[in-house]
Amino acid sequence: MQNKRRRVVVTGMGAMTPIGNDLQSYWDGLSNGRSGAAPITRFDATDYDTKFACEVKNFNVLDFIDRKLSNRMDLFTQFGVAATDMAVKDAGWNLESLDRTRIGVVYGSGIGGMWTYQKQQETLYETGGPHRISPFFVPMLISDICAGYISMRFGLKGPNYATTSACATSNNAIIDAVMLIERGTADAIVAGGAEAVICPMGVGGFNAMKALSTRNDDPTKASRPFDIKRDGFVMGEGGATLILEELEHAMNRGARIYAELSGFGLSADAYHITQPAPGGEGAVRSMKMAVESSGLRPEQVDYVNVHGTSTPLGDISESNAIKDVFGDHARKVAISSTKSMTGHLLGAAGAIEAIASVLALHHQTAPPTINYEFPDPACDLDYVPNVARPMHIGAAMSNGFGFGGHNATLLFTRYQE
């Protein structure tokens, strides 16, 4: 183990999202303010309060995984493996030349194989009882299986596990990856998250909580963070993967470096199972920790990709937390919720938004918050309304908050030698 803190950089990314099935198309969707919301096609949602979601479109699993193996994977695992295939290629890894005992996988899912549970439950009750349950039911269901498949696919023999902390899940995966690399336990980690819960139980469950938007007449306008007419989040799905490497490891192989992961913060609200703590107190501590651990001053943060779910309480709480953390600078920092376009990917949200933050740094452009039409007096910051903004971005923060009071914040900076 090494005592000196090792620097961690992002060298590859892959994305399977509701607005693009690869990194370039994802950025194109973000920078052009494209909504991924549309009527649900994965099941008949006629009787549901919410009849739309942000589904991944035109996903052909056979582009990534052979038929036999893909039939033994839940959709969330398929998304995660596909995103990781793209990330490994983007990083330019020659796996035969790398010490794969020093490369690990930390890959999360908030819920895991909910489609598998849905289908096997139907099998149990509708077509013949317990002896008709698939022997692959449990391996397809468990939330750690995506990390396992990624490890086996690429022969990665370092630390291997999943994180689960609701909508902070993949932020936690990325933070764990950073700590493993900083500590010297690994030289590189495949980190991210995947989710696929646009199914009858998933949509029905969140409808029962009154958490989802019911703007069925105009789905593309439904996810509207910080707008006073917001009425809940829009469910999304997909997978997102970041390749994180120790700086010297990356430089020794001549890697392209997208950004440095310079700081992170973790906290718990210890308050309520679904509501944020008053004043966003837990989020404040998470963000402050991220800034302090990076060695930056608050005024050096140029962009914040917020959790911004388009819920009445959450958006106000996060806005107040940003004011607390940044003081006068809060009104100068560019803020956007890319959930206005992708919907809420739950356990994959942190990873897909981390990629958005890294791409914002890379392209020097803040993605917009679309559908911002009617300002909420309680949300009075600069949310980059409706149109992407070219600007200087030296440091970008990304927030992830989850049911149970989990808070996890990432801080990326432009790489400097």
Which residues are catalytic, by number? 167, 307, 344
Separation of alpha carbons 172 and 151, rounded Å: 19
Handedness of CA 310, 240, 364, 54 (dihedral sign): negative
- What b/e sequence results for 10-35 when a residue is b if at least 16 CB atoms lie within 10 Å of its CB, and e otherwise? bbbbbbbbbbbbbbeebbebbbebbb
Hey, what amino acid is at 145? Answer: I
* Rounded CA separation 99/79 (Å): 26
Contacts for 144 with CB less than 8 Å, ≥ 6 apart: 161, 162
Nearest to 16 by CA among 357, 342, 388: 342
Helix H or strand E segment including 403: none
Q: Give the C-alpha separation, 360 to 305, whole Å.
A: 9
How far is residue 235's CA from residue 37's CA, in Å, rounded to a whole number? 9
DSSP codes, 196-211 = ---SHHHHHHHHHTT-
Give one DSSP letter per residue of 344-373, joined into a string: B-GGGHHHHHHHHHHHHHHHTEEPPBTT--
The first and second tokens of residue 233, run together, are 């989040």
Distances (CA, A) of 227 to 19, 49, 221: 21, 21, 11
Residue 95 in 3-state DSSP? helix
Tokens at residue 164, please? 């689960």
Distance CA 110, CA 126 (A): 28
